Amino acid sequence: MHSRRSALFLLFVSLAVALFFLVYPLYVIRPFRHQGAQELHAALFVLHWQHVVELVCAAAALIALAVLRLRIRTTIVTALVLICAALSFVNIFEVMFHPAGAPAFQYVRDTKLDGDEKVLAVNARAYPIRSISYHHIVNDRIVNETGGGVPIAVTY
Amino acid sequence: MWGRSVGGVTLTFHLAGINNQNFLMRDAETGTYWQQISGRAISGPLAGKQLTLIPSDELTFALWKTEQPAGMVMKDVADFVDDYSAKDWDVKMKSEPTVLNFPEHGLANRDVMLGVTAFGESRAFPHARVLAEKLVADRVGSEEIILLVGPDNQSVRAFRAAIPGATSTGDIPLEFFRTPDGMMIDTQTGSHWNFKGCAIDGKSKGACLERIEAIKDYWFDWRQYHPGTTIYTGSGQRRHG
């Protein structure tokens, strides 16, 4: 039937698009791979639209499934689209390197660090390299010389 | 270290990718992507904006403690302590492969450099050589600078080698020598200068040298982002990248 063919086509197109919009940025932006400027911008463009596109693909797949009825293969394909959509909301980098959250501090006298451990220091605050090299980013707030608060990002 | 305030908005950064061994950040407020090494927004609503660099020091804990005895140290995040790096992680990293290759001037990709971008020039100082020389007097761009190794024989700070407070054209470059106890003495004013770059006696007592940011980086990464960099190879020699 005409509508069956269209629905099948819609289902497979939504899978292809959902897979591309999930995998392409992960492929381009991954460690130990050199990214050229153009492909980085292409990957960021895909990322910018990723959530919207994934949700549209999920909706399209569900519509197609409704037309095609719940057969095993069509259900599996629809499930794959939904999985892609769900995964697109996961930040894999924050799964690998858990964010530090709001940092807590302790006085020097309460700190158990070897003397030769390295720290990244700004005025009276020190961030041990061994922890910031894991978290990569710490969003913090320091006080400058004139007493004003300065929001900072400690990066390593 | 970067300021998080851009146009009056305080941004919260999340890790968004690893790009050429540096990383990408995304702010939660606008979804803009920022490059960690340059502090520059490369994509999104704030594309083109630049974060403000906050000068910071990489020091040993022992040395920092002596300078900031009332200081505060970030606590480990309990759930992830097991994933933290070992003390000697930088030694282990030396043998990891890199994504880019710049086999120039006898430098290996993972040679640690101290990179200085100031006064119109980018210049890289091999970390091991600076630690060995203890006090490096050199020129970057239009200015004379010094790199001083701290009393812990590990931490390094860079300063402009000029009398503090004077303008560039009126400055007399100071000549420094390192004393056995890890301080410096200058020949013009006869003052002793500590690792903070401040004179504790003599004619310059109370004055502090202008700090210059020296970034610790792998050679291949520094060379990638500073293609015109020169390299320090010892007193009196200049080579181009």
Q: What is the mean pLDDT of residues A83-111?
A: 91
Rg (C-alpha) for chain B, rounded Å, is 20
Listed by start position, the domains of chain A span 2-90, 108-155
Query: Taking the CB of residue B117, how many other CB atoms lie within 10 A of it?
Result: 19
Mean of pLDDT over chain A: 90
pLDDT at position B169, please? 46
Determine contact: B116 vs chain A, CB below 8 A: no
**Residue B74 shares a structural domain with residue B12:** no
Residue whose token pair is 């995998």 = A23
Number of domains in chain B: 2
> Which is more confident, A33 or A144?
A144
Query: Taking the CB of residue B221, how many other CB atoms lie within 10 A of it?
Result: 22
To 10 degrees, what angle do helices A2-28 and A72-87 make?
A: 30
- With contacts defined as CB-CB under 8 Å, which chain B residues touch A94? 14-15
Across the interface, whether the CB atoms of B75 and A134 are under 8 A apart is answered no
Cα→Cα distances B168→B120, B157, B161, Å: 14, 21, 11
Q: Report if residue B53 sits inside a domain.
A: no
pLDDT at position A94, please? 87
Q: Report if residue B55 sits inside a domain.
A: no
B217: nearest CA in chain A? A156
Q: Report if residue B49 sits inside a domain.
A: no
Q: Report if residue B200 sits inside a domain.
A: yes
Torsion of CA B216, B222, B226, B232, to 10 degrees: 70
**What's the token pair of residue A88?**
């697109």
Q: How far apart are alpha carbons B20 and B16 in whole angstroms?
A: 13
pLDDT along chain B (241 residues), means of 10: 94 85 88 91 94 92 94 87 68 65 80 92 94 93 92 92 65 81 86 93 89 90 89 68 45
> From the list B20, B33, B59, which residue is nearest A35 (CB)?
B20
**Residue B131 shares a structural domain with residue B204:** yes
Residue whose token pair is 């497979």 = A12
**Residue B226 shares a structural domain with residue B127:** yes
Instruction: Yes or no: say if A64 and A14 are a contact pair by the CB < 8 Å rule.
Output: yes
Q: How far apart are alpha carbons B128 and B146 in whole angstroms?
A: 16
Across the interface, whether the CB atoms of B99 and A107 are under 8 A apart is answered no
ipTM of this predicted structure: 0.87
**Residue B147 shares a structural domain with residue B238:** yes
> Which is more confident, A67 or B84?
A67
Across the interface, whether the CB atoms of B18 and A122 are under 8 A apart is answered no
**Residue B35 shares a structural domain with residue B112:** no
Containing domain of residue B14, as a range? 5-43
Total-model pTM:
0.84
pLDDT at position B241, please? 45
pLDDT at position B101, please? 75
> From the list B3, B79, B83, which residue is nearest A152 (CB)?
B3
